[in-house]
Structure 1
Amino acid sequence: MSEAELHDAIVIGAGFAGLVAARDLIEAGRKVLVLEARDRAGGRTYTSTFPGTDVVIDLGAEWFDPQRHHFMAAEVNRYGARFVEADKDGANRWYLDGRHGEGEEPDSLVDMAELETVLDRLKADVAPVVFAKGFDQVNTAELDIPFSEYLDNLDAPPAIADLLRAQSYTLTGALPEEFSALVYLREIAGFDNDPAYSFFASLARVDIGSGGLAQRVADEISDHIRLGEPVTVVTDSGDRVDVITAAGKTYSARRVVLAAPLNTLGDITFSPGLPAPLARLVRQGHTGRCIKVWSRLAGLKYVFAMGWPGIVECTVIGEVNERDGKRSIMASFGLAPDLAVDRVDLVQAGLDRLEMGATVEEVYGHDWIGDPFSKGTWLALRPGQAPDLAGVENNWGAIHLAGADFAGVWSGWVDGAIQSGRETAAAVDAALAATET
């Protein structure tokens, strides 16, 4: 495909949303070009193996609920992959209110009757939230406050408050002071308004990795993808859209699918400018900044841990046998300054705080916050941003918006990215067809 060609559609971004949008348009007979800034497809999914092993790990998005994430399940089935359930064969570790415990549940640290009372209050607050309506909600303005403030209003016992800080982090990847309580409560609504179930809802990963699945989509349309092509300018002239890359190349199309992360859109100059609600969101950015670090451990006897503060959650996904004994491959999650993808000492300190009894031998990960093509992890709205996200148009002029950050249902999840990409492809195809009659 040359620069001089007029494409039916240019897709900006080869994450899941962009990939499935491009695939569906190609299957509809459209001439499509995908421009991806990175040297790989997959976006915020990224699959590798832990160095020196054959253990498949996801450096980005990883966990799913196959019973609810139907668009993801369809892609898994289409490409011959399968879901693998989390390994529960082992002990769990808990660290709440400065105390340690173990067991399937944190009942050694938390009064379960008190926890049930607090969860009932969450259920009552979630009740007005209609999950299928995204952030276009009514009667929820009082929930659009910092989660830390919401938690103070609950007046929960200290250990339960720490448990909620940790669990809300697993669904937002952000600091309680920075993300909106509405984001967390809406996630609970997606899991049938069941706070207890939402604690451990995402119990399956993909055997080939999420990024491995994305690569299978990319392989199917590889002739249409250009890697290492960051887009810097998008100009909608009415009869065509010109897209300029950092290398100075210009590509043109009748329609553009904008499938780049929200936090990166400020690096693109749009003419005309972005609609006001989206422009405000781009200026502010969302606050998702989860740090995920994989490590090889000696002497580990737990398969899962959760605590606050420090390392918030860690999960073992594989083991390798070495001459001097077994090693565990584990993912740890937290926030700066407690974790960094290249700091063995921070992971060791975090595991010691949890009293995991393990020695960290090596760490591995990807810096999504420092990555210029993500500038953060999955969507976590700040207080006050929900109305703007609800007001973002899916289409203005010849530009169509797609991606997990803008998904109408499972926003922030790969399932939302896929649904958004597929629905956007259908809208683009219909818009193209309307000009051909």
Structure 2
Amino acid sequence: MSKDIVVIGAGFAGVTAARDLSELGYRVTILEARDRIGGRTHRRKFSDTDADIEVGGGWFAGPIQRHAHREVVRYGLNYKADPPLTTFSHLLGGKRSEAAIPIEADDYLAFERASFHVLNAAQHLNPEIPIDQQPLKSFDVTWEEFLGQVELTPTIVDLFNTHAIDGCGPTHENGSALTVLWNTALFGNSIVNWTTLTDQQLEGGTNALIEAILGGATNVELHLETTVMSVQHDETRAKVTTVDGRVFEADGVVVALPVNVWKTVEFDPPLGHDKIAGAALRPGVHGAKSWALVKNVPAGFFGYGNYKVTNGVSMLIDEGEVDGYRLMMAFSPAGISEENPDGFDPLDIASVQAAIEAFVPGAEVVKVDGHDWNADPYSDGSWSAFKVGELDYLGGMRKPEGRLTFAGSDICRGWISWIDGAIESGTYAAAELDRIVSQA
């Protein structure tokens, strides 16, 4: 007799878990608060144009990310490389450089020293073992503290900070150096791989993959605009109640929500100590991504910059031509948040103008678009990062509790914050819940 499962959240983790459980013979109901699937990925048109943009996560690293690649191959999708980068303007160490690699002779030894420091530390991380199961406490310090352990020039400090803080967040967010070291290890202990293998999107974008995963599932019922209020469970059953009063009875539940919004759901019995303590560290950073149509920017543009002197943006990339303008993508590690109310606003044309003009004097922003994930109540933050001290709780954060399993790129075993991590964690959560229900 088929049993019932509820999956809370229709991002990549939730949809993967639902597909896998349906293939195991369960009846699956997905409850999603948004009016769409995809979670913190979202591909749509740039305002008033036919240009597709990824306002959330959208990049892949090919076969090295084996869980996402497995799904890409399964559904016959293809990768698509970003446009080539041919023009550069970097603002690092108080200087502007138009070289592809903004390093002068005075920086060579410092660059070598910083690279060795990162690679020497990252070689101690085994990407085949979950990070929380490795003795890595000595690296669980802020990125600023880690980088400060070696003598560097201002340019190299800014270069490595810019490379790192997009992942682990600014200093005030208490991001751990482990985020950077873990990603370095996952990329084969290579800084070069990290910077050269992440130029791949999918033909059709993230929508193509998540729609294929959901479309390949049978016996799955999707409820959009359905916000979960509470989850009750005991040794035999679970009951999920939505804010509009609907009740879904199930043999088990996959909680596939960002960790930062676990607090919006009332769990009975309450979540365990590790989940409460780990969630209190807020593993999602307050980053921002803005898209802009811009005049007077050369094709193939790329720029790195110290976000404190570029009006909030650390990386600026040209993504092609739209209606005679350049379509630019701007990344900021410091979006607006309670701790940083004056942070970068991805939807404010004046903020985006100030940032882009810092990289390209004379550039003129015509229109902006994007999504403020920090103000979004269903994400309460953008991408994920390890916070100092989170290692103590990570294993418990992903551990099943009663009839509940937990999934998401925040707590995955591998590629934290990447789509691959979400898919991997959805696969694990489905397998764990099948084990729990089957053995009951």
* Unaligned runs of at least 5 residues, structure 1: 1-5
* Structure 1 partner of 2:430: 425
Q: Deviations over 1:340-386 (max 9, x none)?
A: 12211111111121235421000001110110000011211221111
Using the alignment, how far apart are the partners of 1:268 and 1:221 within structure 2? 27
Tell whether 2:170 aligns with 1:175.
Answer: yes
Residue 219 of structure 1 deviates from its aligned partner by 4.1
* Structure 2 partner of 1:236: 233
* Structure 1 partner of 2:384: 379
Equivalences for 1:26-425 in 2 at 5 Å?
Answer: 26-108=22-104, 111-172=107-168, 174-177=169-172, 178-221=174-217, 224-301=221-298, 302-309=300-307, 310-321=312-323, 326-334=324-332, 335-336=334-335, 337-355=342-360, 357-425=362-430
Residue 111 of structure 1 deviates from its aligned partner by 2.2
> Per the alignment, do residues 356 and 23 of structure 1 end up closer, same or farther by CA in structure 2, a change over 3 Å counting?
farther
Asked whether the equivalents of residues 36 and 224 of structure 2 are also in contact (C-alpha less than 8 Å), the reply is: yes
Asked whether the equivalents of residues 7 and 252 of structure 1 are also in contact (C-alpha less than 8 Å), the reply is: no
Amino acid at match of 2:229: T
SS in 1 for 2:115: helix
SS in 2 for 1:404: coil
Amino acid at match of 2:9: G
Using the alignment, how far apart are the partners of 1:403 and 1:395 within structure 2? 13
Amino acid at match of 1:157: T
Residue 207 of structure 1 deviates from its aligned partner by 1.9
Using the alignment, how far apart are the partners of 1:51 and 1:157 within structure 2? 42
372-381 or 281-290: bigger deviation? 281-290
* Structure 1 partner of 2:338: none
87-96 or 71-80: bigger deviation? 71-80
Residue 21 of structure 1 deviates from its aligned partner by 0.8
Aligned identity (percent) is 29
Q: Deviations over 1:374-428 (max 9, x none)?
A: 0011211221111111333431211011111111111221101101112222222
Residue 134 of structure 1 deviates from its aligned partner by 2.7
SS in 2 for 1:426: helix
> Per the alignment, do residues 139 and 21 of structure 1 end up closer, same or farther by CA in structure 2, a change over 3 Å counting?
closer
Number of residue-to-residue matches in the alignment? 425
Asked whether the equivalents of residues 403 and 437 of structure 2 are also in contact (C-alpha less than 8 Å), the reply is: no
Residue 241 of structure 1 deviates from its aligned partner by 0.2
Residue 220 of structure 1 deviates from its aligned partner by 4.4
TM-score between the two structures when normalised by the length of structure 2: 0.91
Asked whether the equivalents of residues 114 and 147 of structure 2 are also in contact (C-alpha less than 8 Å), the reply is: no
SS in 2 for 1:34: strand
Asked whether the equivalents of residues 338 and 346 of structure 1 are also in contact (C-alpha less than 8 Å), the reply is: no
Give me the CA root mean square deviation.
2.0
Amino acid at match of 1:90: T
TM-score between the two structures when normalised by the length of structure 1: 0.92
* Structure 1 partner of 2:339: none
Asked whether the equivalents of residues 110 and 160 of structure 1 are also in contact (C-alpha less than 8 Å), the reply is: no
